[in-house]
Amino acid sequence: MLFDPTPKDNREDFFNRDEEINRVRSLSSPITLVLGLRRTGKSSIIKIALNELSLPYIYLDLRKFEDRAYISFKDLLLELEREVKKLTRKFPSLVDFLKGVKGVSIAGNEVRFNWGVKNRLNFSDLLETLNDWSKDRVIIAFDEAQDLINLRGVNLLYPLAYTFDNLKKVRIIMSGSEMRLLYRFLGVENPKSPLFGRAMNEVELRPFDHEKSIEFLRRGFKEVNVEFREYERVYEELGGIPGWLTYFGYYFIQTRNLEESMDRTLERAKGLVMEEFNNFLSKRLIAKERYMVIMKRIANGCSRWSEIKTAVEIHEGREISDSEIYNYLNNLMDSSWIVKDEEKNEYCPAEKLIGRVFRV
């Protein structure tokens, strides 16, 4: 069903992204990036591609760690262990390959990863083992991979670069809502990064435009035989983010009432967006107030740099340095809360509902 508000895992329930799914499926570079704002369908597209490819895979959902100041290597190892266990249940032949790998213990058929400093599993060794074991290809998917920037105690970029260059059967898929942050983490354009200059298979999910949004709603309501007419109003109020349109459809099917469905969608958006923003703030507590002031200012209308600076200064009753303001705006752009309209030289909310949530 198109209006099911959980991530989709098959193409029939997924509207208008055939080309994008096929590009993810092509795995045409050792690393595939799936980029797009929150709720544009990244997790869905990864799940659909994994289903259709029917290759062995490991799926790591890093949103789990979103509210933490940092991720330890142990946290990551525990996730990996859970996924590798699943894989060995499906493919018992993998157990033999894991035997003897440093940091892996095997009791019966149960695989355990050690995280003690001395004898811990090395991520490169795991990748190498998967590569040796795999007959065709094996996929490691990192959903919301920009959060790996908060991983402490190990630098994943070296194993990733090694995989890219040498492990021909291992394919990595990474999604990112915070696109600039993900690029910065990978350092593709940074000569000092191990991944410098590697060409990746990039798939970007843009929000639906006006026409596609309306077609999506039309299809969704037709599918469940529900009569609906107010398409323009929905696009006008919610914009083209597929996830918000999905919530609206889902509520309308239940209530058959436009106003109530709209209210519920906005209420839902408020909850989700504020929770996500609080996660963003939890890593930047000192400047919490300032970020709120900036978001409110921008939500009330796209703003120029100087207007934003003035708003923060008035709020605090003192002068604030230019570099601090630049830093805040860059962080907000890195994490896809705001975008810069280069032509007008203004900063705007990254999408309609972010604006609505922060508007006062």
Residues that bind Mg ion (CB under 5 A): 43
Task: Check binding of 38 to ligand ADP (CB under 6 A).
Answer: yes
Rounded CA-CA distance 204/316 in Å is: 39
Whose Cβ is closer to ligand ADP: residue 246's or residue 303's? 246
Please spell the DSSP secondary structure of 76-109, one letter per residue: HHHHHHHHHHHHHHH-THHHHHHTT-TTEEEETT
Q: What gap in Å lies between CA 354 and CA 339, rounded to an integer?
A: 11
Query: What is the size of the binding site for ligand ADP (CB under 6 A)?
Result: 21
Q: With CB cut-offs between 5 and 8 Å by kind, which of Mg ion, ligand ADP, none does residue 242 bind? A: ligand ADP
Q: Which does 39 bind (CB under 5 to 8 A by kind): ligand ADP, Mg ion, none?
A: ligand ADP
Contact call for residue 42 and ligand ADP (CB under 6 A): yes
User: Which of the ranges 13-21, 25-33, 53-61, 312-320 carries the binding residues for ligand ADP, by CB under 6 A?
Assistant: 13-21
Buried b (16+ CB within 10 A) or exposed e, 54-88: ebbbbbbbbeebbeeeebbbebbbebbbebbeebb
Distance of CA 223 to the CA centre of its chain: 28
- Of the candidate spans 32-40, 54-62, 127-135, 274-282, the one that interacts with ligand ADP by CB under 6 A turns out to be 32-40
Backbone angles phi, psi at 173, to 5 degrees: -120, 130
Collapse the DSSP code of 117 into the 3-class scheme (helix H, G, I; strand E, B; otherwise coil) and give the result: coil
Q: Which residue has the tokens 């983010």?
A: 241
**Does 40 engage in binding with ligand ADP (CB under 6 A)?**
yes
The answer to whether residue 153 forms part of the interface with ligand ADP (CB under 6 A) is no
Q: Work out whether 242 is an interface residue with ligand ADP (CB under 6 A).
A: yes
Q: By the 8 A CB rule, do 16 and 41 touch?
A: no
CB nearer to Mg ion: pick between 43 and 265: 43
Is residue 240 within the footprint of ligand ADP (CB under 6 A)? no
Q: Which residues contact 142 (CB under 8 A, 6 or more apart)?
A: 60, 62, 148, 172, 173, 174, 175
Residues 196-225 that bind ligand ADP (CB under 6 A): none
14: contact with ligand ADP by CB under 6 A: yes
Distance of closest approach, residue 8 Cβ to ligand ADP, in angstroms: 5
Residues pairing with 176 in the sheet: 35
Which residues are near ligand ADP by CB under 6 A? 2, 4-8, 14-17, 36, 38-44, 242-243, 246
